[in-house]
């Protein structure tokens, strides 16, 4: 089984992509999705978050939701809104957000290589979230949300991708969030073969975002293999939908923290205790950390810059050296009593796309006692953790721009 292969994608018909594409299912609440899809029957949110077509307040995990998603998906195909390509292709997919460009390859990736960890992971998954995606894939017999993979960039791949981008794009639209999505079909079979060979020569790929979708695809494949006495390994269910970006184009934003209380400490006591581990400097402006080991603290309408002292940075552990770990191990746990960020309701997470104003707002309105801004985790750090077979702390990375759902779908028949 090849590491990646081309496939016949299901895509919006000519001129319909702007109506169809939608943000990933897991970045919008049901209420937000309902508002965004209002008045647009062809929004892919009717497939990825079909609870929006049931009475408000409906449980998003009941059987009726998945049945509704199947119904909506089938209708989009029947009405010609979504059409399947006649041949198996790779697709070149470029996103532009502001001044940032990143260009990847839409492909079907081997579940076997995911299972044996040639496609490296760096996060734990939650069974309930896996279950949701398993049921969604099984209901519509397709993978709709692409998994974001990355690899150590190679000039040979760049050259092929750039040559494809010299032709007229097949899709070129700007979504309502201002992100430009452009898609080219890689029609030249020689280029497709060259891409397959280039990736086959790579030791590893890395999951950047989409661990639950990957795990769900693996579970569906295992179930179908067991149920198919004629299984031969070439079936579509043995692969999952991915977009693969070179590491030198991946953009990771900060993933910040807000905390509800100071664990019984006064403001002065808290600052005093910080000084044993951090150099603390009061600032007159919002603190955006400019390097690893630097943090911003917002507390009672004031910003502070925190620099962790070098002796508290582990020398060789790729997980313990991460800024999210340094904050947890030297501040959140010992001072604020937050032992488990996954389960403690006193801490919440704010993606960097929302900006530092969101941190200030949540503290100023009394919802939270303090906020911490972090320097973004680097893609090099992510790969180091994955290569070591370790797992990153929760909410370590926030990737932007987000991949569109509905632009290319991988059918499992």
- Residue 17 sits in the same domain as residue 103: yes
DSSP for 131-188, written as a single string: HHHHHHHHHHTEE-S-EEEEE---HHHHHHHHHHTTSPPSEEEE-TTS-EEEEEEE--
Predicted pLDDT of residue 147: 98
Q: What is the pLDDT of residues 257-277, one digit of tens each?
A: 999 999 999 999 999 999 999
Q: CA neighbours within 13 Å on the CB side: how many for 400?
A: 17
Q: What is residue 183's predicted lDDT score, i.e. its pLDDT?
A: 98
Per-residue pLDDT, 342? 82
Q: What is the CA radius of gyration of the chain?
A: 23
The reply to whether 117 and 44 lie within a common domain is yes
The Cα 88–Cα 186 span in angstroms is: 9
- Tokens (6 digits) for 124: 């734990």
Query: Are 296 and 221 members of one domain?
Result: no
E strands, 210-340, in order: 239-246, 252-253, 255-259, 278-283, 294-299, 302-308
Residues 242 and 285 in one domain: no
Pairing of strands 205-209, 119-120: parallel
Same domain, residue pair 176 and 295? no
Are 122 and 168 found together in one domain? Answer: yes
Q: Judge whether 291 lies within some domain.
A: yes
Q: What percent of the chain has pLDDT over 70?
A: 100
Residue 74's SS3 state is helix
Question: Which residue shows structure tokens 């070129």?
Answer: 172
Specify if 244 maps to a domain: yes
- How confident is the model at residue 343, as a pLDDT? 84
Any domain includes 341: yes
Same domain, 195 and 324: no
pLDDT score recorded for residue 243: 98
Same domain, 246 and 269: no
What mean pLDDT value characterizes the chain?
96
Token reading at 401: 């721009």
Q: What is the 3-state secondary structure (H, E, C) of 26-71?
A: HHCCHHHHHHHHCCCCCCCHHHHCHHHHCCCCCCCCCHHHHHHHHH
Q: Which residues, in sequence order, are CB contacts of 27 under 8 Å at separation 6+? A: 402
Residue 332 CB-density burial (10 A; 0-12 exposed, 13-18 middle, 19+ buried): buried
CB burial of residue 263 (10 Å; 0-12, 13-18, 19+): middle
Q: Which residues form the domain of 110? A: 4-251+400-411
- How many structural domains are present in the chain? 2
Q: Bridge partners of 296? A: 305, 373
In a domain, 154, yes or no: yes
Residue 350's CATH number = 3.30.1760
E strand or H helix at 102, and its extent? Answer: strand 100-110
Classify each residue of 15-52 as buried b or exposed e, where b means 16 or more C-beta atoms within 10 Å of its C-beta.
ebbebbbbbbbbebebeebbebbeeeebbbbbbbbbbb
Q: Show the CA angle centred on residue 389, arms to residues 386 and 391, nearest 5°.
A: 70
What per-residue string of b and e applies to 341-358 under the rule 16 or more CB within 10 Å gives b? beebebbbebbbbebbeb
Q: What is the pLDDT along the chain (413 residues), one digit of tens a residue?
A: 899 999 999 999 999 999 999 999 988 999 999 999 999 999 999 999 999 999 998 899 999 999 999 999 999 999 999 999 999 999 999 999 999 999 999 999 999 999 999 999 999 898 999 999 999 999 999 999 999 999 999 999 999 999 999 999 999 999 988 999 999 999 999 999 999 999 999 999 999 999 999 999 999 999 999 999 999 999 999 999 999 999 999 999 999 999 999 999 999 999 999 999 999 999 999 999 999 999 999 999 999 999 999 999 998 899 999 999 999 999 999 999 999 988 899 999 999 989 999 999 999 999 999 999 999 999 999 999 999 999 999 889 999 999 999 999 999 98
CA distances from 397 to 126, 210, 350, 378 (A): 17, 12, 11, 9
pLDDT at 315: 86
Let me know: does 413 contact 238? Beta carbons within 8 Å.
no
Dihedral angle computed from the Cα positions of residues 134, 139, 140 and 143, in that order, rounded to the nearest 10 degrees:
0
Structural domain contains residue 338 = yes
Q: How many CA atoms lie within 13 A of 155 on its CB side?
A: 0
Are 340 and 201 members of one domain? no
Q: Are residues 98 and 235 both part of a single domain? A: yes
For 29, phi and psi rounded to 5 degrees? -75, 165
| CA pair distance 319, 252, nearest whole angstrom | 17
């Amino acid at each position: 089984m090849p590491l990646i292969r081309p496939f016949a994608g299901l895509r919006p018909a000519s001129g319909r992509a702007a109506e169809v594409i939608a943000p990933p299912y897991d970045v919008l609440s049901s209420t937000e999705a309902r508002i965004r899809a209002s008045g647009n029957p062809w929004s892919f949110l009717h497939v990825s978050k079909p609870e929006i077509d049931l009475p408000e307040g409906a449980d998003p995990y009941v059987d009726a939701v998945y049945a509704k998603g199947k119904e909506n998906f089938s209708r989009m195909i029947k009405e010609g809104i979504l059409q399947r390509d006649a041949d198996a292709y790779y697709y070149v997919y470029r996103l532009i957000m502001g001044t940032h460009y990143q260009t990847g390859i839409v492909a079907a990736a081997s579940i076997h290589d995911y299972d044996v960890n040639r496609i490296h992971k760096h996060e734990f998954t939650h069974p309930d979230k896996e279950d949701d995606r398993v049921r969604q894939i099984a209901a519509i017999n397709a993978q709709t949300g692409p998994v974001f993979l990355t690899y150590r960039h190679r000039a040979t791949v760049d050259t092929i991708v750039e040559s494809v981008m010299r032709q007229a794009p097949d899709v070129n639209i700007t979504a309502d969030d201002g992100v430009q999505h452009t898609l080219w079909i890689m029609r030249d079979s020689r280029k497709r073969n060259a891409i397959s060979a280039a990736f086959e020569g790579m030791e590893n790929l890395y999951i950047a975002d989409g661990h639950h979708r990957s795990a769900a695809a693996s579970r569906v494949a295992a179930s179908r293999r067991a149920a198919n006495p004629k299984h031969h390994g070439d079936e579509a269910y043995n692969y999952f939908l991915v977009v693969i970006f070179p590491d030198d184009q991946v953009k990771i934003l900060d993933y910040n923290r807000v905390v509800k209380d100071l664990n019984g400490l006064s403001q002065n006591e808290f600052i005093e205790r910080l000084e044993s581990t951090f150099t603390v400097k009061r600032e007159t402006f919002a603190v955006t950390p400019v390097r690893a080991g630097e943090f911003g603290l917002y507390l009672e309408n004031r910003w502070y810059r925190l620099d962790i002292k070098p002796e508290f940075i582990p020398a060789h552990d790729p997980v313990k050296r991460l800024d999210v770990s340094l904050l947890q191990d030297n501040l959140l746990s010992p001072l604020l009593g937050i032992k488990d960020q996954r389960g403690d309701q006193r801490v919440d997470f704010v993606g960097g796309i929302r900006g530092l104003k969101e941190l200030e707002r949540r503290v100023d309105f009394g919802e939270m006692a303090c906020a911490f801004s972090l320097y973004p985790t680097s893609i090099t750090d992510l790969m180091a953790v994955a290569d070591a077979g370790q797992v990153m702390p929760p909410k370590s990375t926030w990737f932007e721009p987000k991949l569109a759902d509905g632009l290319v779908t991988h059918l499992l028949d």
